[in-house]
Structure 1
Amino acid sequence: MDDSFIGLSGGEIFHEMMLRQGVKHVFGYPGGAILPVFDAIHDSDHFEFILPRHEQGAGHMAEGYARATGKPGVVLVTSGPGATNAITPMQDALSDGTPMVVFCGQVPTSAIGTDAFQEADVVGISRPCTKWNVMVKDITELPRRINEAFEIATSGRPGPVLVDLPKDVTGGILTRPIPTGSAIPKSPIHLTNTAASAFAEHPDQHIPEALARVAELINKSKRPVIYAGQGVLAHPDGPAVLKALADQGNIPVTTSLCGLGAFDELDPKSLHMLGMHGSGYANMAMQNADAIIALGARFDDRVTGTLRLFAPEAKKAALENRGGIFHFEIMPKNINKVVEATHAIEGDVTKNVSRMLPMIQTSPRTEWFDTIDQWKKAYPWTYAEPETAESKLKPQQIIDALDRATRDIKDKVIITTGVGQHQMWAAQHYRWRYPRTFITSGGLGTMGYGLPSAIGAKVACPDKIVIDVDGDASFSMTAMELATAAQFNIGVKVLLLNNSFQGMVKQWQDLFYEERYSGTTMVNPDFVQLAEAMHVKGLRISKKEDIEPVMKEFLEHNGPVVLDCVVEKNEHVYPMVPAGKGDGVGPEVCNEAVKVIQVVAEKRPDISFDFSHELIGLAAIAQTGEPLPQKSLDACRSASAVLLGAVGGVAGATKPGQPRPEQGLLKLRKELDLYANLRPVIFASDGLLEKSPLKAEVVKGTEFVFVRELVGGIYFGNRKEGDQDGQAYDTLPYSKAEIERVTRLAAYLALGYQPPAKIHSIDKANVLATSRLWRKTVNETLAAEFPQLLVEHHLVDSAAMHMVANPTKLNGIVLTENMFGDILSDEASVICGSLGLMPSASLSGLPDAPDIAGQGICNPIGTILSAAMLLRYSLGMDKEAQAVEAAVRQVLDGGMRTKDLGGQA
């Protein structure tokens, strides 16, 4: 029993307990229900109280403090709105494993349940977003509950706890000795669910055996990757143990967003950040790794993408007993929650990896690192430099300049961020070398986090340079905390990437919502004047020559300072989406077509197929900033055939001047001189007649093949954008030679029919000069070289009408130019009932379908039949092509239907 508190008020006991817990700083906001505590700490010279401008700011300051030091941040707020305003920081801390203790006032115990002024059920409200919470109902409980709060906040996976303090408890006087030790039970049965899982004692007896098995499989693996999360940073020795594992096993390392700094990114083994905005080579390494060693990471959805497509090689290696997915994690509930682990090691990550280290063998893994080096060269972090000196600055330029300016003092610099594009640019273009130097909201993604967390980090580490890299929208949410920095002379620096938009949301609107900017345009204040109004120095960069000198002034200024960097409004964060074979549903349908070709190969032991997967379109832009990287083009040039996934569509919509996914497809056609596109319009099965929106008697017997000229016409003519004078134009050029060669191809196809098929030539000769040249050249070529063939000319509008009114009228070969063929062949898909049923000899597969990508519901038949055309036209394997087509017909005749056709396959 402890009698040292006798005669003290609850507020004075609180003060004494903060001293015993070693608390140096408290962040909070007063109010009536918590005034007994504020009065007790008023004259204290043992810790500093920081007054924010909002309780949310207090919570984020405590988070920044905790992330910079590993010690719990302490928050002190009043009841009702004071407590509820701290809910967002508590959920943020829970999501990111940040130790924080929140003390909030409450109405007197006699008034609880009466809807008293500023009463709120804070214990109930905060239960889902804390590890543990409690209301102290008697002053005799107060020291013990405070001890328990700090113990729970820092034990296991760190996180937030809340202690609710009724006013009569903090205002009362203790009159007798009390127990003060923690009463947390050995069994977690009496704790809340979240606390129970955090305090579950991990059975240790199985761990040595499991570690030996994991080490054995790591040693067997040829392509291992370490995936390090923030859990590595939870232990002071975590980064050193991570480096020891990487060095001893010669294993490349990638990190989560919140794990940045756990591994030196200048180490050749670094793959940098993983995930949808991570490096292309980190993502490719994870997808090709036969062993994934996850250390203190949760397999966030932005890391895994589509779960069934994640880590296929590691899953395969697990089945073959030569690798797998190994999850080291302190929280049992996080194991197998997202990704099924081959082996899971519960408990302290650093401790368990240390125990495994003596069992890890050194291996050169030369081939693996050579492959990774090729990926690094092919897919570096990159961005397009401003075109002229007058062009708006790129935000990446600013981060690059900050990185250069702090290159020799990285261990003395802490970077915080808000949430948005700026967060990702900072993560990508700043080189992270030391632990606890990057502080951001990772799990919850809380805008407004950057400035208050920077204040907390600077309070914790006054000798370090603390910089909030922020965006104008995120910064504006908590900008008033500049007044806090000024009042307490907290020398934080705010580097503002100002694009006058909610940039990340706008980017999604660019890509997926046809540039409909609903609620994302900002009308900002003058941030320099705003800073100066709050007694903070304001600076601005708007042109390239100002970057270096103003950055120097920014870094050397002693007090709080804001640097407003006016940057390009329309810049996107790349990578944006995981790499795939084409865009949207492209990876899914290509995978199915590849399986078919592999079955063909099994039937022909004299032939082998060697597949390589390359990037094009939106997937390529996401990884490299280019719609067709040189590596992809070179691979296509050296290949015998190319099977191409979806490219472009709504998801590819971008503004003028930005790369468009379709540009990759057009460049590929031009570079490889793919001058003709073949698209058969035929029912793969009579059973599909009812799936056509046209009447069965109208479409029955339809059988024609589009022969579309592919590298000429309006898609490749000169053009002018209309952004300057409001006038735009496209030109539609064709040469006689281009028309002659596609006409010959159509003729050869027509001769393949018995009797020879009729050629239907589509143009707009009544209006367009190029169409008149088209018609003249078609007539002359056929008359001179193929006099036995019949040709009928149709105007394009007439052909479009025939296609829906009487499609059999076009049976035979439909020959047309580029744009007309593009439109008409898509219209023809209506006849078949689904665009997913239409094959194509140019092998462009399906148009982009971002709304169904990754769901496994797209129709792969068209791409499988395209694979049959690949076999026939590219590889001369007509017999095998016929077998594929017959198999498709048999499956469809048997009643199999994909979801676009009303089935479940």
Structure 2
Amino acid sequence: MEEIKLSEALVRGLINSGIKRVYGIIGTTVLNFYDALYEYKNEIKQITVRHEGVAISAADAEYRTTRRPAAAVVHAGGGFLNSLTGLGIAMKDRSRLLLISGSVKKRLKDTDSWLEINQEAISKALGLKHYYIDEPEKFYGIFNEAINNLFYGLPMPVVLEVPEDLWNKKIYIEENFPMLTKGSQEINKDDIIRVKEEIKKSKRPLILVSGEVNYKDAREYVYKLSEIVDGYVITTGNSRGLCEEDNYRCLGRVGYGGGSLLADKVLKETDYLLVLGNEYNDITTYGYNLTPHNSIVVISLDPSSEIRPSYYESIKADPLEFLKNLVKELENEKLKNEDWEKEISNYKNDWEKIINETLKRKYDNEVNPAKFFYELNKILPRNRIIIGGQGTHILYAYDYIKVFEFGGFIAATNLGSMGFALPASIGAKIANPDREVVAIAGDGEALMSIQSLQTIKDENLNIKIIVVNDNSYRVLYLKQVINKSGRVYGTVLNNPDFVKLAESFNIKGIKVNNDNDIDNALKEIKKDEAILIDLIVSKEDLPPTNTDMVLKMDQV
């Protein structure tokens, strides 16, 4: 065993666990941790950001695009509080990251001291695992448990809180720590057989894949299952990229906030829905207003699948392992559902007509966003990574940009929070330097995390930023127009000049306010440098969406 400072032990533990980066902002309560990072700067990189929420979403994006966790570090008190929206996004979308937070000196704990808040209570209110190191000697055991939860527990952020006066305490550690131990779970063979027999009887089989099953090796088995049962695949916002969106069995994203009418239609018409993962929820079903009339089976380890309205049978199992076992059980079968195939073909044609009609829209002194994103889709490489936050602008990323590879799309899907796109693009690009990363943000969202541009510049990241600028909070603006008899209030905005703003960070900016400018903008996007496109669009433009279901969701 070796005696070293606790701060150094933590850094070594991160390195031994395969964590490659720590995003954060220095503060007095983590100063000694940064000093330890300095000693290992050739083995683990520290990325300075300009807001704690940026650190969280950058680390979040690393995991979602690689399935390798990253870490973030924040100062106690205000630094920790600034991280909460990012933690909420990561929690709701089931993303793994380790947050290392400083804490007040141990002797000042529970005295209402400077910087002190109950960080553990706040973490637990978000449903997170929170570990507080109250004695140096306990570090080894606590860190080992925390890191195992990070890698093998429910996919969520894990918080490790360290008092300021413990960082330099000496502790003994073993050479190879932490000890990562992955548990195993038996798949109930009776469940496999039952689902096998049920899906064989189906004439309209449909597979809904969720983020819980979105791993690189899942695609092979999803394709095999869909071929065997002659079924089709729909995705959630967190599982785009699991199937290639130009594969004829992949029908795209379903549900509120980006689902296509094609995917919504097949969800309604299926006679057997197999859900792999935990996202058969109010988003997927527009508040449970769009549900199949027949059998629904959900395979998930996530506790959320057991507490939602009981419209389905729930099987507690690892959805990927269940899928592999089901495919093996069905491997000698070859089913045919010709009528379902014909129906799907008609739905596809109807959706394509809607998309093509939107390309014909014309605006004065504004771009047709449908046309811009349709053309952008053509020039991006297949291994693109598209990042969105939340707002009407994200519908363009769903409707017009295809995703083909794992990790190819991430957004703040299940919390519905703005401000995610720019911070997440940092982590996505750093973790995937050979993939084109495009951040799509609304004007309102962009200003919530605009400081991300400084880190993009500092790290020399070739990120393409599209600011969809309609001078409004368009989701709410349109709801006021439609639902509130045009009583528009608090949703129309005044914006800075985004081009000049980008240039102030020494990032190229281009304003696009006419369809004739699209070709030149695309040429600039293809260059090997960061760029911000200020895309001027009409707040009246409504991307294709399931308006009837959206209105029903609002009313019920």
Q: TM-score range by the shorter chain?
A: over 0.9
Give the corresponding residue for 1:283: 264
**Aligned pairs for 1:20-99 within 5 A:** 20-43=16-39, 44-99=41-96
Distance in 2 (alpha carbons) for counterparts of 1:306 and 1:56: 29
Which one of the candidate residues 279, 298, 306 is aligned to 1:298? 279
Is 1:475–2:437 an aligned residue pair?
A: no
Give the corresponding residue for 1:261: 241
**Aligned pairs for 1:622-701 within 5 A:** none
Question: 1:591-630, CA deviations, whole angstroms, 9 ceiling, x for partnerless residues?
Answer: xxxxxxxxxxxxxxxxxxxxxxxxxxxxxxx8xxxxxxxx
Give the corresponding residue for 2:194: 213
Contact 1:156 1:331 in 2 (8 A): no
Give the corresponding residue for 1:776: none
Which one of the candidate residues 398, 402, 409 is aligned to 2:372? 398
Is 1:334–2:305 an aligned residue pair?
A: yes
Which structure's CA Rg is the greater one? 1
Contact 1:422 1:469 in 2 (8 A): yes
Q: Cα offset for 1:478? A: 0.2
Give the secondary-structure state (helix, strand or coil) at the position aligned to 2:166: helix
Question: 1:630-654, CA deviations, whole angstroms, 9 ceiling, x for partnerless residues?
Answer: xxxxxxxxxxxxxxxxxxxxx7xxx
Q: Cα offset for 1:258? A: 1.4
Give the corresponding residue for 2:10: 14
Give the corresponding residue for 2:458: 487
Change (3 A) 1:311 1:110: same
RMSD: 2.3
Give the secondary-structure state (helix, strand or coil) at the position aligned to 1:63: helix
Give the secondary-structure state (helix, strand or coil) at the position aligned to 2:454: helix
Is 1:347–2:327 an aligned residue pair?
A: no
Q: Cα offset for 1:332? A: 4.0
Change (3 A) 1:851 1:471: closer
Contact 1:386 1:392 in 2 (8 A): no
Contact 1:230 1:258 in 2 (8 A): yes
Question: 1:40-70, CA deviations, whole angstroms, 9 ceiling, x for partnerless residues?
Answer: 2124221211111110111111111111111
Q: Cα offset for 1:359? A: 3.0
Question: 1:12-41, CA deviations, whole angstroms, 9 ceiling, x for partnerless residues?
Answer: 212221221122111011111111101121
Contact 2:53 2:82 in 1 (8 A): yes
Distance in 2 (alpha carbons) for counterparts of 1:114 and 1:401: 60
Contact 2:13 2:178 in 1 (8 A): no
Identity across the alignment (%) = 24
Q: Cα offset for 1:395? A: 1.7
The count of aligned residue pairs is: 550
Contact 1:72 1:101 in 2 (8 A): yes
Which one of the candidate residues 530, 537, 540 is aligned to 1:570? 540
Which one of the candidate residues 331, 338, 362 is aligned to 1:366? 338
Is 1:440–2:402 an aligned residue pair?
A: no
Which one of the candidate residues 515, 526, 531 is aligned to 2:502? 531
Give the corresponding residue for 2:216: 236
Contact 1:135 1:164 in 2 (8 A): yes
**Aligned pairs for 1:446-845 within 5 A:** 446-556=417-527, 558-578=528-548
Distance in 1 (alpha carbons) for counterparts of 2:14 and 2:327: 39
Is 1:225–2:206 an aligned residue pair?
A: yes
Please say which of residues 142-151 and 361-370 is displaced more in the overlay. Answer: 142-151
Contact 2:359 2:370 in 1 (8 A): no
Contact 1:14 1:143 in 2 (8 A): no
Is 1:151–2:148 an aligned residue pair?
A: yes
Distance in 2 (alpha carbons) for counterparts of 1:170 and 1:248: 57
Question: 1:409-439, CA deviations, whole angstroms, 9 ceiling, x for partnerless residues?
Answer: 212x111112111112101211122111101
Letter in 2 for 1:10: L
Give the corresponding residue for 1:122: 119
Give the corresponding residue for 2:291: 310
Distance in 2 (alpha carbons) for counterparts of 1:160 and 1:851: 30
Contact 2:391 2:418 in 1 (8 A): yes
Contact 1:72 1:150 in 2 (8 A): no
Give the secondary-structure state (helix, strand or coil) at the position aligned to 2:98: strand
Contact 1:232 1:242 in 2 (8 A): no
Q: Cα offset for 1:302? A: 2.3
Q: Cα offset for 1:183? A: 10
Change (3 A) 1:98 1:81: same
Question: 1:60-96, CA deviations, whole angstroms, 9 ceiling, x for partnerless residues?
Answer: 1111111111111200111001111111111111111
Contact 2:281 2:287 in 1 (8 A): no
Change (3 A) 1:452 1:152: same
Is 1:138–2:135 an aligned residue pair?
A: yes
Change (3 A) 1:508 1:852: closer
Distance in 2 (alpha carbons) for counterparts of 1:220 and 1:32: 64
Change (3 A) 1:246 1:477: same
Q: Cα offset for 1:466? A: 0.9
Change (3 A) 1:306 1:525: closer
Distance in 2 (alpha carbons) for counterparts of 1:237 and 1:115: 50
Change (3 A) 1:389 1:168: closer
Structure with the larger RCO, 1 or 2 (CA within 8 Å, 6+ apart): 2
Distance in 2 (alpha carbons) for counterparts of 1:574 and 1:141: 55
Distance in 2 (alpha carbons) for counterparts of 1:851 and 1:98: 27
Letter in 1 for 2:240: L
Question: 1:135-186, CA deviations, whole angstroms, 9 ceiling, x for partnerless residues?
Answer: 01112222332332222122144110100100121122226879965699x9
Distance in 2 (alpha carbons) for counterparts of 1:377 and 1:333: 36
Letter in 1 for 2:519: E
Give the secondary-structure state (helix, strand or coil) at the position aligned to 1:12: helix
Give the corresponding residue for 2:347: 375
Q: TM-score, normalised by structure 1?
A: 0.58
Gaps (5+ residues) in structure 2? none
Change (3 A) 1:308 1:517: closer
Letter in 1 for 2:292: A
